[in-house]
Structure 1
């Protein structure tokens, strides 16, 4: 009787400990840029965890995060922190720009089992790849997909699921107006001036066209302003993105 009591106690402790770990390490895909083949993952939990063995799967091609190039952050992912990786899947496959799914999976286990899937998103069309697994798990609605311009950004929290919480990254900015950078003139034909507030340090400036192709990247460490020669750029709309620590801000400008 005593042995049985000890056994059940250990089972309860194990299950409780596992649930705590899950509650404190909730990993979600929060940004996808098919054009640059980059994906950003956020830890919505409060404890640091190494996610290098976690896997991404797109259109039945897969790869471990540890085999991919880290663009920013760390795979030893702290609570409320993000890491950005360049996707590399089996046979050298990368993200499909037109239509694809993307699932985040635990370090081991069958990709066809819902319990091994952590998160899911798809764009361009419904019914891609492992959509059925996500539907069974209850984190996606069958046939739904992101149908706005890439790159894509998750706008919800840890308990929010599905297409309603995905939008184009172009529409997402830091709501704190005090911390926003400024660009001028807009439209611009010769030079575009980017100015950072004093509260932003060690920032990286990137500019993308509307297809998500990166046309410029420069470090602004110790700089509060920079002038970009855009005179030879094609006319159209561009996205200016400033990243500093865990904060990313975006703005549009028109090249005349």
Structure 2
């Protein structure tokens, strides 16, 4: 996503875990710090019965355009959300009240936003491993628009956050940008890693968040590589 890739701050709970309760729901304590990319959002609580697939419009994007459900260990099946227009995408990825939301929506519309799908998968044991895996795919006007989003997204995450950050290498994905941010502020510790890349007019994002647990960075990068290999393969 251009501007600021959203980080699910709910995964960085004060206790470093996501506490499950009756009925399959998930309770989180949201923590937002200046060290996180400034458009942190709270991930919706997925149903434990979710299949990980979505109907989608005919010919549009579906959950099959996202990474394999088991691509990163330690997460549940999650659920997919159709994001039919730029407004829905911005609402899903930006924090409520963020003053840049109208600009982001207008920008994505100008880029020819046509469709999008997002999936959140909650970690099975965030106290030891990943807390949240978020992936999405967006279809824009053309390849140039999608590649522009890749560059702007990463640059703005870097400039918007005071967290210690470093670039990650994914040479197997041409034109990809990847970054890791390590948060340690006010008793809140955690790590975020993400990869974003374009294939044709489609923009892909894979993002992992860990609180008290260990972020499976290598597995997350491999999931992005596998996704790229699948979506870039010649039919």
Scaled by the length of structure 1, the TM-score of the pair is 0.27
Q: Which has the higher strand share?
A: 1
Scaled by the length of structure 2, the TM-score of the pair is 0.28
